[in-house]
Each structure stands twice: as C-alpha cells, then as structure tokens.
Structure 1
Amino acid sequence: MSTLEAKAGMNDTTGRSTPRPAWSLWSGIGIATGGALLLIATLLEIPLLDDPNSGVLGLFAVTFLASTIIHAAAMVPLTGGATGDAGAVGRSLLGRFALLGFGGLFLTSQIVYFVVVYAMPAVDDYSGVLSLTTGLGLAQLVLLLVGSLVIVRAGVATGSARWALLALTVVAIVTGVVGNATDSTEVATSAHLVSTVTQIVVGIVFIAYTPRHHR
C-alpha cells in the first residue's frame, strides 16, 4: 500500500460513526413513548379537572399510568442496566443511584397522585397528601439533576445527547415552580404540555444518537 493510500485509509476512519449504544436506543424509546403518552394524558385530564367522573377517566388512567411506568423503566437502560454497557453515566455509582432513585420516586409520586385524586373518595383535608407529594417531587428533581450532571461529567454521551437530560431537568424544575406558583389551570396545563413535548424531543435525541470517534 502506498503512503497516500495509507493516509486515505486513516482519514476515512476519522469521524466515522460507531453503532448506536443500547442505552441510548432503549432509554430514548422509553422517554419518547412515555412523553407522548403523558402528553395525551395531560390533554385528557383537562375535562377531568371540572368533572372527575368524566367519560375519559378510563382512557386517562391507562395513558397516565402507562406513561409513568415507561418513564420509570427508561431509567434502567440509561444507567446501563439490562443493556450490557455502562450507560450514559459511565461507571458512576452515584449516577446510577440518582437516576434509578428518580425513576422509583417518579413512579411512586405519580401513582399517589392518581390514587388520591381519582381513585379515592374525596376528603376535606388534603394537606397530608400534599406534603407527601411535594416532598416526593422535590426529591425526584434533586435526583434527576444529580443524574443529569453525572451524564454531562462522564462524557459517555456526546453532542446534544450529553446535555439532553440536563435540559429536560431544567424544564421539569421550571414546570414544577410554575405549577406550584400559579392558580391558573390554563397556565399549569400549558407548563406541563411544554414538559411533555420536551420529553419527546429528548427521547428522539437519544434514539438518534450515534457516537463518533475522532483521531
């Protein structure tokens, strides 16, 4: 092989993409699917705010609970579980704990919300439940923030995939602040819709992610 041919071969490998890692594919599918279902559930919940016994309650229950389970499950491949690789957090035990913990708390808080609001008889005092859900919400946001920062620091994901979960975390924090600060149902619903669309976008970013190696 001539010197020019050898150089051409070297240049041909520069920036060549490698197969998509399992963690990005499966976590992306989970986050995008969960976001799409939660978007539908958020729209279905609008009439339920006026009439909890509306005919859409059954469909809302299916889409809301399915999105919750799928979102929580998406944290498993994101940390490398069941995929055979290290996941987006690399070898960080803190990152794995944070994201898996977030998934568990997210699942718990969403189920508590659904049961209290739609499955249990109405009560006069929701202060205890409100304190519980607020505490769960704050804890899961902290864990999500820690996990997303670990992903950025680990550098396993590159490009937009490296920052995607952190962007979603920021949107989730803003959504939580707006939801707790406003008395307007329209504003709170709009904030949640923006959050669900962001989830879909982040999922697509992970699905489309292909790492590139540079010499």
Structure 2
Amino acid sequence: MTAATAASTRPAWSTFGGGGILLAATLLFVATILEYVYWVVAEADSPGLLVAVVVTLGASILLYAAAVFPLAFGSRGSNGIVGRSVLGKVALLAFGLGFAVAETLYLIATYGIGADPGWGAMVFFVVQFVGIVVAAIVIARASIATGFARWSLLIGSALALVCSIVVRTTDSFEVVTVAYCVSTVIQAIVGASYLAAGKRTSVDA
C-alpha cells in the first residue's frame, strides 16, 4: 500500500476526530496563556488581547463540538471510534454538548456581561465529564483504536479530573493557569494518539 492510499483510507474518527481534538486543545492552550496575560500582565486593559482571547477560545469551542461527530459516527461506510455502540455515540455527543455550552457560558459571563457563569456552567461541566468517562470506557471496550490510543481518553479523563479539582480548590490564578495548561496538553496528547492510531489502522488495512 502506498502512502497516498494509506492517507486516503485513514478513518474519519482519526483524521477529523483526533485531528480536531489536537487542534482544539492547542487553541485552548493558547487561549489559557492569553487569558493569564490579559488579566495579570495587562490588568484587563488591552482590547487587542481581549479580542484574541475571545476568538481563540471561541474557535476551540467550535472545533471541539465539531470533532465529536466523526469520533461518534465516522464517515459513510465506516463507524466511529466507538463502533456501533449507541451508548458510546450518545456519550460523545453529551461530551461535545457539555463542553460547548459550559465554555460558551464561561465566555459570555466573563467577557460579555462580566458575571460569574454560576451553576449553569457547573451542570454542563458534569454532563461533559460523565459523557467523556462513559465514552472512554466504550472506546477501550470497542478496541477500534489500538495501542495507547485505546486507553488515552480513559487515562486523560482521570488526569483532567485531578486538574479540575486543583482549579476548584485554589485561589491562585497562577496555579489555575498551570492546571488548565496541563489539562489542555493532556487533551492534545489524546488527539495525537488518535491520529497515530488511525495511521496504523490505514497502513495495516
């Protein structure tokens, strides 16, 4: 099989799902750094940084929401990373919905109306976390992703939970920023593992 043929047979869950997560996580990492610079260094007095934060975070939200569809459903003639599991598909969609709504509420509350996002964001965070844990278990059981990719989301979910606990139990903006950065790096590793697993799948086919 040639490299061109292998590329053409790479599954959609790898290319668009894994690639989407990798790119979204990278943008989220950049947005996290920009937020720190905006609030701490510029002391919330930089319209240019504000625009950069909103645009970068908004793009990340859209990419995450879009990435769950190829992960859940694959493309015509193929399944997603959860195979035929309806539970897995619903869990991935729940994660995408939970993440998109929670982050959008945060974005609007923090940079739009200047208020605490409140319990609404917390509810959708829980939806997001439950969805990703269930999806991770289904992905591991389905064995469509192989090697480290089979377990990466499960491991990443556990580590992301630790980061979330740190965020919610500290008053230090610096510690919060580091925890969010670590979380985004973990997410990027998950996305990269799906890209790598898809390459192996296409070559082995």
Distance 1:137 1:64 in 2: 16
Match of 1:46 in 2: 36
In the TM superposition, what is the alpha-carbon distance from 1:174 to its structure 2 partner? 1.3
Match of 2:91 in 1: 98
In the TM superposition, what is the alpha-carbon distance from 1:75 to its structure 2 partner? 0.6
In the TM superposition, what is the alpha-carbon distance from 1:84 to its structure 2 partner? 3.6
Is 1:135 aligned to 2:104, yes or no?
A: no
In structure 2, runs of 5+ residues without a counterpart are 1-5
Structure of higher CA gyration radius: 1
Match of 1:201 in 2: 189
Is 1:115 aligned to 2:103, yes or no?
A: no
- Cα contact 2:101–2:121 (8 A) shared by 1: no
Q: What is the CA RMSD across the aligned residues, in angstroms?
A: 2.0
Higher helix share: 2
Point out 4+ residue stretches in structure 1 off by more than 6 angstroms. none
Letter in 2 for 1:52: A
- Judged with a 3 Å threshold, the aligned counterparts in structure 2 of structure 1 residues 84 and 107 are, in CA distance, closer, same or farther, namely farther
Q: Deviations over 1:153-191 (max 9, x none)?
A: 111111111111112211221121111011111111101
Worse-superposed segment, 150-159 or 81-90: 81-90
Q: Deviations over 1:120-163 (max 9, x none)?
A: 1x45xx4xx32111121122101110011110111111111111
Letter in 1 for 2:165: V
Worse-superposed segment, 180-189 or 202-211: 202-211
- Residues 22-41 of structure 1 correspond to what in structure 2 (within 5 A)? 22-41=12-31
Letter in 2 for 1:166: L
Is 1:60 aligned to 2:53, yes or no?
A: yes
Worse-superposed segment, 43-52 or 63-72: 43-52
Match of 1:20 in 2: 10
TM-score (norm 1): 0.83
Distance 1:83 1:161 in 2: 23
Letter in 2 for 1:152: A
- Cα contact 1:164–1:205 (8 A) shared by 2: yes
Distance 2:14 2:37 in 1: 36
Letter in 1 for 2:36: I
In the TM superposition, what is the alpha-carbon distance from 1:83 to its structure 2 partner? 5.0
Distance 1:108 1:139 in 2: 10
Distance 1:196 1:202 in 2: 10
- Cα contact 1:76–1:82 (8 A) shared by 2: no
Worse-superposed segment, 75-84 or 59-68: 75-84
- Alignment length, in residue pairs? 193
In structure 1, runs of 5+ residues without a counterpart are 1-16
- Cα contact 1:81–1:87 (8 A) shared by 2: yes
| Structure 1 counterpart of 2:80, from 79, 87, 97 | 87
Letter in 1 for 2:44: P
